[in-house]
Structure 1
Amino acid sequence: MSLLAAENLPFVIALGCLALIALLQVTGIGDVIEDAGDFDTVDGLDAGGFGAALTALLGLGRVPLMIWTASLLLIFGTIGLIGQAWIADIFGAPLAPLWAMLGAGAAALPLNSLAARPLGAIMPRDETTAIDLDDLIRRDAEIQIGTARAGSPARARVIDHHGQAHFVMVEPSDTDQELRTGDTVLLVRREGQTFYGVHYQSPLLGLGT
């Protein structure tokens, strides 16, 4: 049975979306999206009553929403592909796509809720050291991935006054300058979700510790 067969397509698409989320996280774009959209909380479901019960049941709020979504896509896609292959072996044909999606979704939601518990226990809780983004200005950062140019930011790691690491997108303050992986920069200003840095050598950086 082909992975690209119609009955498997919803699950292949789900795993493709998971790969896209992973790519966004690796490039740092995912952090910008989370900060801009406040994806770490689901405010509409934080109220008491049914909303709070649904939030707890689904495991929302235990981990950032992007992580919760990635976990759900992984479980949904895996259950769907394995389930379709298993059903085809037993009955000679897989389920129709709609029924397969409903079955995989019904199984994936509670399993994802269970997975959110250990994930939430091991992940750092940003709200305990929540800071204003402007508090990161005048702090050292280290370019982690890519080369930052004017109009093309790169992902950088900066430590706040609590000792908590943050990943931000940085462009050079000097438009003629490039900031490369491993460069130390001083964050001098911020526009929206993008910081601007000045390259220099800091003997006190110690971001690897």
Structure 2
Amino acid sequence: MFSQFLSAAYLPFAISFAVMIGIGLIEAIGLGLGHLDLDGDIGADGHSGLLDWLGLGGELPILIWLTSLLGCFTLAGVAIQQITEALHGTPIAWPLAASGALVLGGLFNTLAANGLAQIMPGFETTVISTDDLLRQRATILEGTARRGAPARAKVVDRHGQAHFILVEPHDDAGTIASGETVLIVRRDGARFFALPDTNTLLQSV
């Protein structure tokens, strides 16, 4: 069976199985690549419904979903080749088998992913959106922040993880010195704008 699995007719499924094992090893040694942020702006144009259908709309880590897809693809492909060989004495060409396995595997994975999401209700991700750093306080680490000349700052998110960002004063003529604490109020791309805690508007915040 093992030598048959390595034959040309089973090649896509052997590769899929190997990738699946590789992803499992990555997760096992704790690299944590499964916790990817898929939020983005997908809800605006209706793609969120597709992600929900695929099993990606909930809290299921992306690499667990991908591992499930590879497993379903492998099982569907092997089943197609085994059934074809039993009926006709020889497996079909791997492109045809892979096409069929992709369709069947995708359908099976939808059920599997949604099932996994249901039995993992306690999963919590420490991945946050960039916008989640807004309204958080940061500390200027070095240099003096001026408009057009940002300074490097450190902000700790709600999970206790540190992020290092570039900060400019919210006010055009403002400056923020090294060591000052600021409130992040807006961002433009990768650049954040903040008000220093010494600002009188923040005295009651």
TM-score in terms of structure 2 length: 0.56
Flag structure 1 segments of 5+ consecutive residues without an equivalent: 138-209
CA contact (8 A) 1:14 1:73 kept: yes
* CA distance in 2 between partners of 1:99 and 1:118 (Å): 29
Aligned to 1:126: 124
2:104 alignment partner, SS class = helix
Q: Call closer, same or farther: CA 1:6–1:19 in 2, change over 3 Å.
A: same
- Report what 1:109 is aligned to: 106
The two structures have a TM-score, normalised by structure 1, of 0.55
Match 2:48 to one of 30, 43, 52: 52
Runs of 4+ with >6 A deviation: 128-131
What letter matches 1:126 in structure 2?
E
The question of whether the paired residues in 2 share the 8 Å contact of 1:75 and 1:108 is answered with: yes
1:117 to partner: Cα distance: 1.7
Q: Which runs of structure 2 are paired with 1:29-68 in the superposition (5 Å)?
A: 29=31, 31=32, 33-34=33-34, 39-41=36-38, 43=40, 46-62=42-58, 63-68=60-65
C-alpha change, 1:50 and 1:14, in structure 2 (3 Å) is: same
By relative contact order (CA 8 Å, sep 6+), the higher-ranking structure is: 1
Matched residues in 1 for 2:110 and 2:11: separation?
24
Larger Rg: 2
Percent identity over the alignment is: 31
Q: 1:61 to 1:52 in 2, by over 3 A?
A: closer
List alignment gaps of at least 5 residues for structure 2. Answer: 129-155, 163-205
Distance verdict in 2 for CA 1:83–1:132, change over 3 Å: same
Q: Distance in 1 between matches of 2:127 and 2:20?
A: 28
Tell me the C-alpha RMSD between the 2 structures: 2.6
Cα displacement (A) at 1:116: 1.4
Aligned length: 131
